[in-house]
A and B are shown apart, each in its own frame.
Chain A
């Protein structure tokens, strides 16, 4: 990127100005302050794109289950399409959630001694809650 910028600068005799808003240290490291490049940002977008149709499906499905018994929910989950989309919704939702909460903690918690434990606690809780939800859907699907 910076090489391209330098080339275009010399070609136009120093007239063309291309602002490279990256520090020398950042450029040397190559992956930004999070050391992972754009991966986190991109994962947030991919999960949000997946959640657009999944959310619409879930709200309609949930509304149809309001006021029904546990047996009705089990019957609903026994349908492979519902179990698959339900499992997908749970996985993507909890992944998206921990990505978002991580950024919130990174933005507002400045003490390093607090930040890392909080992020790890959030990731652990999201993982366990997601896993519990997933196991429940699979149990409903296979065993009623």
Chain B
């Protein structure tokens, strides 16, 4: 076990020194802050959206099956639990969408300075709130 671990964690720098590669930080020693909270939320909303694809698949399959099965899905979506589920799905979608764009910007090499990271984080929170409210209002008005 130790040998495998060493094989994977011990590296040599370009000037020939042996070094231990850095390990991931242990979460529990850190004070929660916007950067870490938003990062965890990206994962949680991703998992929530995965559960939400069950609803998407159910809706599409029902639409392709019969009027009565479509009525069952519609009935569920309009029920209090269905509407709550839908609200959670809409909020998760917009959060993952906005923060995903933030991630793509990082991947392209932009926005790494700490003040920018904090500002883009709050922008994601604000955009999620606004888009979720807007979408929820549109759903309620169309029902």
Contact = CB atoms under 8 A, between A and B. Distances in A.
Given A21-B21, A100-B46, A129-B54, A140 B14 contact: no
Q: A interface, by DSSP: helix, strand, loop or mixed?
A: helix
A137 B60 contact: yes
Interface in B21-62: 21-22, 43, 46-47, 49-50, 53-54, 56-57, 60-62
Contact of A70 (B57, B63, B100, B135): B63
B74 to A, nearest CB: 8
A78 interface: no
A26 B8 contact: yes
Given A94-B53, A132-B57, A6 B63 contact: no
A67 B53 contact: no
Interface residues of B, number: 42
Interface string A91-130: 0011001001100100000000000000000000000011
A20 B63 contact: no
B76 to A, nearest CB: 14
A139 B14 contact: no
B64 A139 contact: yes
Contact of A74 (B8, B49, B61, B63): B63
A82 interface: no
A18 interface: yes
Nearest to B142: A66
Given A69-B70, A93-B53, A140-B63, 4 more contacts: A2-B14, A23-B11, A64-B142, A129-B57
Which A-B residue pairs are the 3 nearest by beta carbons? A136-B64, A70-B70, A66-B142
Interface of A: 2, 5-6, 8-9, 14, 17-26, 33, 45, 48-49, 51-52, 55, 59, 63-64, 66-67, 69-71, 73-74, 77, 90, 93-94, 97, 100-101, 104, 129-130, 132-133, 135-137, 139-140
